[in-house]
Structure 1
Amino acid sequence: MRVLVLGAGALGGYFGGRLVEAGTAEVGFLVRPARRAALEREDLRIDSPFGAWRGRVAALEADDVGPGWDLVLLACKAYDLDDAVAAIRPAVDARTLVLPVLNGLAHLDRLSAEFGAGRVLGGLARIQATLAPDGTVRQLNDWRWMTFGAQDGALTDRLRAIEAAFAPAKGVVAEAVPDIRARMWEKLVHLGTSAIGTVLLRANVGEIARSPGGIAFLHRVLDRNAAIAAAAGFPMRDAFLAEYRTLFADPTSLYGTSMLRDIEAGGRIEADHILGFLLDAARRAGVPDDIHEAAILHARAYEQRRAAGRLPGR
């Protein structure tokens, strides 16, 4: 199996690197020139609770990419989607499946329009990882799941082959499922709740939970997001809601979203793709939208300050 990974950052570097380590696929990383230079100079490095790894990888730039890939793993930020589509277009032919592990759901329509719904899988990654300043991919806890499936729900031999390629990979649990849209809605409910909480309050889950009223606030947001999903035809499972009620009530939790980390670092954020999407969905569903509106306004105001060069320390 030939796998092209777009990006060698937190997600692409982790899942692609673990696949290289397992030796079950031929893997190439489509990256920008600076990242290619770093990979060729220092290898790909993973720091993880499941074991560190360092190894030489095939780093490619746009001019190096042509057809012949079985799978393209799309691991980019939502705001880079248009550039990502242009970058992978030469690699996608009749044999290629595209597996995006972006946050949210809005990207599926864009990718399906470009490559065809039958070629674009639904996918999600449940992992906390970051790309450290020195280029190391750091996994922050024991979350290590990648879930994927055909948009029509079919469990094909090709999906089973992808699952099998990842099976020996250390620190990865990859699963092909028949209900990927429902799983993606579950992730959006949990991510939307944590993003709204951590971005509005500029604190991780434990810090919010230790604040009077913090747990009730997070649970209220969770309930509203679950109502949004139910109105879209994807009611949340009782076990899922129980799991995340517990997570959002943990005063010792260090869980913080990548959006919060990006804000703290003065970086770009996926405001519209997650928060804006949920606000629009709340209004369609008739769910109270005041918290969602405050969150997207907060994020957009941050983006305005960033564009004006007015962030603290910058």
Structure 2
Amino acid sequence: MRMLVVGAGSTGGYFGGRLIEAGRDVTFLVRAARKARLQADGLDIVSPFGNASLKPKLITATEIDGPYDVVLLTVKAYSLDAAMKDFAAAVGKGTMIMPFLNGMRHMDVLAERFGAGTLVGCTCHIFASIDEKGRIVQHNRLQEITYGELDGSVTPRIEALDAFMKTGAFGTRLSRHIRRRMWEKWILLATLGSSNALARGSIGEIEAAPGGTHLALRLLGEAVSVTRAAGVEPSEAFLDTARTTLTAKGSPLTSSMYRDLQAGNAVEAEQIVGDLLARGRKAGLDLPLLGAAFTNLMVYQNRISATR
């Protein structure tokens, strides 16, 4: 099995690098500048599970020589259109596309471009970044990928993918409920990001402020109502964990979207909050807090877009 990892940032670089360590056939699709840097310096991982220095196979879009068995899509949602053009030549009749993107809009876009049969559902959990030396730094021990067929079946191709991914280098899980898991992750990301954006603080700071817990739980309720309107019922175990996570005293937790906002970078506001809001309104739901959060984030997003 051959895998093409689209993007060699903190997430794609980490998981792709660990697969290379395990002897898997992995190639990174990158821009010319990123290729030059990785060729010169290598791909370095700094992790509590052990550091690694690798010399991965690297190609640019014009160098794709034919279809791959798996395309692991690890770009930000706002880069999806450009990425699809870049990796299109790598998608053949039997190719599986496994996206690490958040929300659900990307699944519709990818299905329209490449066909629904190419898609594998997936959720990814890791906290990593690229430091000033260009190294991928893993900040805690969370590293798990869950994947599965969107209809819940266990097919020969998903079993082959499962065997490919099971290296022992990170957690993997083949799920028969991947669509629900994707929605659950979206609920948590939208609630966390909206809470951070509206209150401009971490979960612990929000909890300590008057009305903070109420804000977080109301946002969670709005996100869950959209999910249920879409015909997906979150598990009680997930909801219990979400309530605890979003109201934990002293928690430093923030969303990656909020960290991007603090750093002055583009944010996935439309994909994580805006699309959830649009789906809910289409279903006739009243979502005042998600609406306020989306307006807040888009004011920021429009401001930085105007300066670039």
Query: Common fold, TM-score beyond 0.5?
Result: yes
Q: Match of 1:184?
A: 182
Q: Match of 1:38?
A: 37
Could you tell me how far 1:279 is from its partner in structure 2?
Answer: 1.0
Q: Counterparts of 2:206 and 2:163 in 1: how far apart (Å)?
A: 40
Q: Counterparts of 2:231 and 2:98 in 1: how far apart (Å)?
A: 23
Structure 2 residue identity aligned to 1:51: G
Percent of pairs with identical residues: 39
Q: Match of 2:232?
A: 234
Q: Counterparts of 1:236 and 1:16 in 2: how far apart (Å)?
A: 30
Q: Counterparts of 1:255 and 1:45 in 2: how far apart (Å)?
A: 26
Q: Counterparts of 1:215 and 1:143 in 2: how far apart (Å)?
A: 26
Q: Counterparts of 2:37 and 2:249 in 1: how far apart (Å)?
A: 39
For structure 1, list consecutive stretches of 5 or more residues without a partner in the other structure.
Answer: none
Q: Counterparts of 1:244 and 1:259 in 2: how far apart (Å)?
A: 18
Q: Match of 1:90?
A: 89
Query: Does the aligned pair in 1 maintain the 2:67–2:89 contact within 8 Å?
Result: no
Q: Match of 2:305?
A: 307
Q: Counterparts of 1:123 and 1:263 in 2: how far apart (Å)?
A: 25
Structure 1 residue identity aligned to 2:53: R
Q: Counterparts of 2:48 and 2:215 in 1: how far apart (Å)?
A: 31
Q: Counterparts of 1:263 and 1:280 in 2: how far apart (Å)?
A: 22
| Cα-Cα RMSD | 1.6
Structure 1 residue identity aligned to 2:228: A
Q: Match of 1:7?
A: 7
Tell me the secondary structure at the aligned position of residue 143 of structure 1: strand
Structure 2 residue identity aligned to 1:235: E
Q: Counterparts of 1:209 and 1:130 in 2: how far apart (Å)?
A: 27
Could you tell me how far 1:204 is from its partner in structure 2?
Answer: 2.1
In structure 2, relative to structure 1, the CA distance for the partners of 1:302 and 1:134 (3 Å cut) is same
In structure 2, relative to structure 1, the CA distance for the partners of 1:53 and 1:83 (3 Å cut) is same
For structure 2, list consecutive stretches of 5 or more residues without a partner in the other structure.
Answer: none
Q: Counterparts of 2:139 and 2:191 in 1: how far apart (Å)?
A: 20
Q: Match of 1:289?
A: 287
Instruction: Decide which moves more: 206-215 or 87-96.
Output: 206-215
Query: Does the aligned pair in 2 maintain the 1:19–1:169 contact within 8 Å?
Result: no
Are residues 1:268 and 2:266 paired?
yes
Tell me the secondary structure at the aligned position of residue 121 of structure 2: strand
Query: Does the aligned pair in 1 maintain the 2:129–2:137 contact within 8 Å?
Result: yes
Could you tell me how far 1:4 is from its partner in structure 2?
Answer: 0.3
Could you tell me how far 1:22 is from its partner in structure 2?
Answer: 1.5
Tell me the secondary structure at the aligned position of residue 118 of structure 1: helix
Q: Give the alignment of 1:201-240 within 5 angstroms.
A: 201-240=199-238
Q: Counterparts of 2:233 and 2:188 in 1: how far apart (Å)?
A: 13
Q: Match of 1:127?
A: 126
Structure 2 residue identity aligned to 1:46: I
Q: Match of 2:114?
A: 115
In structure 2, relative to structure 1, the CA distance for the partners of 1:49 and 1:202 (3 Å cut) is farther
Q: Match of 1:251?
A: 249
Aligned length: 308
Instruction: Decide which moves more: 297-306 or 277-286.
Output: 277-286
Q: What per-residue deviation string (whole Å, max 9, x for no partner) do you get for residues 125-153 of structure 1?
A: 12222222322222222221211122232
Q: What per-residue deviation string (whole Å, max 9, x for no partner) do you get for residues 192-216 of structure 1?
A: 1111011222222222223232222
In structure 2, relative to structure 1, the CA distance for the partners of 1:52 and 1:250 (3 Å cut) is farther
Q: Counterparts of 1:34 and 1:263 in 2: how far apart (Å)?
A: 25
Could you tell me how far 1:286 is from its partner in structure 2?
Answer: 3.9
Question: What's the TM-score, normalizing by structure 1?
Answer: 0.93
Instruction: Decide which moves more: 99-108 or 263-272.
Output: 263-272
Q: Counterparts of 2:34 and 2:27 in 1: how far apart (Å)?
A: 13
Could you tell me how far 1:47 is from its partner in structure 2?
Answer: 2.0
Q: Counterparts of 1:167 and 1:252 in 2: how far apart (Å)?
A: 36
